[in-house]
Amino acid sequence: MAGVLTPKDFATATPSWWCPGCGDFGVLSALKSALAELGKQPKDVAFVSGIGCSGKISGYLHSYAFHGVHGRALPVATAVKLANHELTVIAAGGDGDGYAIGAGHFIHAVRRNPDMTYIVMDNQTYGLTKGQSSPTSQTGYVTGTSPNGNPEAPINGLALALAAGATFLARGFSAQPKALVELIKAAIEHKGFSIVEVESPCVTYNKINTYAWFKDNVYNVAEAGHDPSDRNAAFNVLMAEGKLPLGIIYRTSRPTLEELALKSAVPVVKAELGSDLAGFAKLQEAFR
């Protein structure tokens, strides 16, 4: 594909079934714009998603795409990056997919530090399965399965990642598209595991954490003078009560998984398989 890319180059013909007004539309739009502005080609991008409303996003982005099972986007994306270092690998999912059943994979991806980006669309509810409370729902959140209010405390995914050794943490808001584009671009350009948590309102089930609520309950850390290279300051920002911080919260560098685990080894995508088809068939049989 020659010439200057536009977001349309990353669009697919697959019609979206998200609810009108869903915050995930803003995430998809920002992602397409970010990739175009970075000059990425669809053939050079691998996009892995999990289950839930947010998991469908891989069907709406023109790239290599894999729609996996619940909570397993990160190990699949890590394998893709290890097999082909040259791909820009992006994983995406919701707060339920990433912070509930996928929480173990999330923490280990953080500490391994593969060179890829993880976008977490946080709507503080399980939107696909009729609005139950999720790992990020506030205590007291009333749903059909918690009519007396959610009895659990919400998870702070970014603080958890920071404690596990994260190298890039950011938070955006789907109703602030320009800022979200810049956050995603910075995350993709970061060498290491980058996390962008996006406040993405569910307009159908979550009548508490609405667009209006978020607009009144977020602030930009850069405007507040935050230093993203200061890990202690990042902890303080993430753990403080009150408004949610938006922007790049923490950024540092350390060796990636590929650099430490593979060193000079040839990636799988470039390995010579040879002409021994019988041996290859035997290998396949062993994994059936």
CB-CB contact of 252 with 110 (8 Å): no
Query: Could you read off the pLDDT of 10-59 as tens digits, one per residue?
Result: 999 988 889 999 999 999 999 999 999 999 999 999 999 988 888 889 99
Residue type, 22: C
Residue 172 structure tokens = 């955006």
Residue 99 DSSP label: I
Q: Is 58 helix (H, G, I), strand (E, B) or coil?
A: helix
> What backbone phi and psi angles, to 5 degrees, belong to 45?
-120, 130
CA-only gyration radius of the chain, Å: 19
- What is the model's pTM? 0.92
CB-CB contact of 95 with 51 (8 Å): no
Going from N- to C-terminal start, the domains of the chain cover 16-259
**Residue 288: its pLDDT value, please?**
65
Residues of the chain above pLDDT 90, percent:
75
Residue 108 structure tokens = 């280990």
Q: Measured between alpha carbons, how far is 151 from 39 in angstroms, rounded to an integer?
A: 46
CATH topology for the 16-259 domain = Rossmann fold (3.40.50)
